[in-house]
Amino acid sequence: MQFTNIIGQNATKKYLIDSVQHNRISHAQLFLGAEGSGNLALALAYAQYVVCENKQAHDSCGECNPCRKAQKMIHPDIHYSYPTIGSKVKSTDFAVEWREAIAKNPYQNAYQWLQYLKADNKQGNITTDECDDIVRKLSLMAYEAQYKILVMWLPEYLGKEGNRLLKIIEEPPENTLFLLVAENADLIINTILSRTQMLRIPRIEEDALIEVLQKRQYLPLESAQQIALLAEGNYNEALNLIANFNNDNQTMLVRWLTIILQRQLNHFNAQTERFTELGRESQKNFLRYSLHFLRQCMLLKAIPKHRLALTQPETELARQITPTINIDKLEQIFKLLNDAYYHIERNANPRILFFNLTIKVGDVLLH
Ligand SMILES: [Zn+2]
């Protein structure tokens, strides 16, 4: 992974590169950032930069031997640790899957990775055996590079096993680097947290996200803007949205509201069927879209001159709808949709859910 492949995050990249160039490499670092921010990608690019034999001012060279090995994730001095399924297992038991999954999407979340391992409903964890393996690996001499590097993705999954790593993090063998990549500091034991230097990684800037969606996903500008708004700086979420993107979300919302507002009761069932046929991801997508739209309507009510995060046709729709609905009703509908989203995520029956939702939204709008 090279820095140039990472979306946005220019300030963080510069900080990381500077720290290597000025020999300020701290031996235990926590890359803390939300899902889809690129925290793992940054740690991988950083590790490659550290081992690169021909470092450039703004990136690793990408061509030297260590770079090629780092790129393929087979450098003998860069170790990876991540959640797995089962108790008597180590991360390296899943090295093939790991390389495949990261090559496909270094912005993936834990759920996707565990599904890749066919976890079904099983919990992931970083096991006792894995911790022992880490201590063993890091106690060996470096093979080729100056540093031995451990990239641990999601130390949240260590739980109390993290205590097994305290000693090695506190008194590491010479030239050892710990790069912990986390999303939620609250789930990491304090004794580990206090031994690392924390680097907070912000969400991806909207402009960078829009640009990458156009370049890599070939989206037209307007769709890229819409997806970027919904994804809120999470590239992984943007990819999910594209995979399930229903360009008809807006059309569907208009039709649904029209049916409700005009009391076309005979269309309630047909509309419910349309929602049901979408499938769960698109249903969530539609609800997320509608929530976003409602949030903008509420802003419009509160601050009429507010610059809306909506496309032109959506803005027109919002300006059409908002004068007739008061803020209290908007809030009630928002809550209904939010609850619906919650239940869809937890496998509620979509036919019953969307039918009830239509009735309840009608209750709010028409009374
Ligand atoms: Zn290189």
How many A from CA of 94 to the centre of ligand 1? Answer: 26
What does the pLDDT read at residue 322?
Answer: 84
Beta carbons of 289 and 230 less than 8 angstroms apart: yes
| Cβ neighbours around 19 below 10 Å, total | 18
Domain 244-366 falls under CATH 1.20.272: yes
| Cβ neighbours around 300 below 10 Å, total | 20
**Protein fold of 3-202:** Rossmann fold (3.40.50)
* Dihedral-angle region of residue 69 (phi above 0 means left; psi in -120 to 50 means alpha; beta otherwise): alpha
Rounded distance, CA 358 to CA 13, Å?
48
How many A from CA of 74 to the centre of ligand 1? Answer: 14
How many A from CA of 52 to the centre of ligand 1? Answer: 4
How many A from CA of 71 to the centre of ligand 1? Answer: 10
Residues by chain with Cβ below 5 Å of ion ligand 1: 52, 54, 60-61, 64, 67
Rounded distance, CA 38 to CA 241, Å?
17
How many A from CA of 142 to the centre of ligand 1? Answer: 17
Each residue's pLDDT tens digit in the chain (367 positions)? 999 999 999 999 999 999 999 999 999 999 999 999 999 999 999 999 999 999 999 999 999 999 999 999 999 999 999 999 999 999 999 999 999 999 999 999 998 899 899 887 788 999 999 999 999 999 988 888 889 999 999 999 998 888 999 999 988 898 999 999 999 999 999 989 999 999 999 999 999 999 999 988 888 888 899 889 889 999 999 998 887 665 578 888 888 988 898 888 888 899 999 999 988 888 988 998 899 889 888 988 888 777 777 766 777 778 888 888 889 999 999 999 999 999 998 889 999 999 999 999 999 988 8
What does the pLDDT read at residue 106?
Answer: 97
* Dihedral-angle region of residue 6 (phi above 0 means left; psi in -120 to 50 means alpha; beta otherwise): beta
What does the pLDDT read at residue 32?
Answer: 98
How many A from CA of 347 to the centre of ligand 1? Answer: 48
How many A from CA of 113 to the centre of ligand 1? Answer: 28
pTM: predicted TM-score of the whole model, two decimal places: 0.73
Rounded distance, CA 75 to CA 347, Å?
42
Show the 3-state SS of 246-294: CCCHHHHHHHHHHHHHCCCHHHHHHHHHHHHHCCHHHHHHHHHHHHHHH
Rounded distance, CA 114 to CA 238, Å?
20
How many A from CA of 175 to the centre of ligand 1? Answer: 19
How many A from CA of 280 to the centre of ligand 1? Answer: 44
Place of tokens 């180590």: 90
How many A from CA of 200 to the centre of ligand 1? Answer: 26
Rounded distance, CA 259 to CA 267, Å?
7
How many A from CA of 69 to the centre of ligand 1? Answer: 10
How many A from CA of 59 to the centre of ligand 1? Answer: 9
Q: Which positions ≥6 away from 290 have C-beta within 8 Å? A: 249, 253, 337
How many A from CA of 77 to the centre of ligand 1? Answer: 14
What does the pLDDT read at residue 245?
Answer: 64
How many A from CA of 179 to the centre of ligand 1? Answer: 19
How many A from CA of 122 to the centre of ligand 1? Answer: 39
How many A from CA of 143 to the centre of ligand 1? Answer: 17
Beta carbons of 90 and 129 less than 8 angstroms apart: yes
How many A from CA of 353 to the centre of ligand 1? Answer: 55
Q: Do domains 3-202 and 244-366 have the same CATH topology?
A: no
How many A from CA of 319 to the centre of ligand 1? Answer: 54
Q: What residue ranges do the domains of the chain occupy? A: 3-202, 208-241, 244-366
How many A from CA of 34 to the centre of ligand 1? Answer: 29
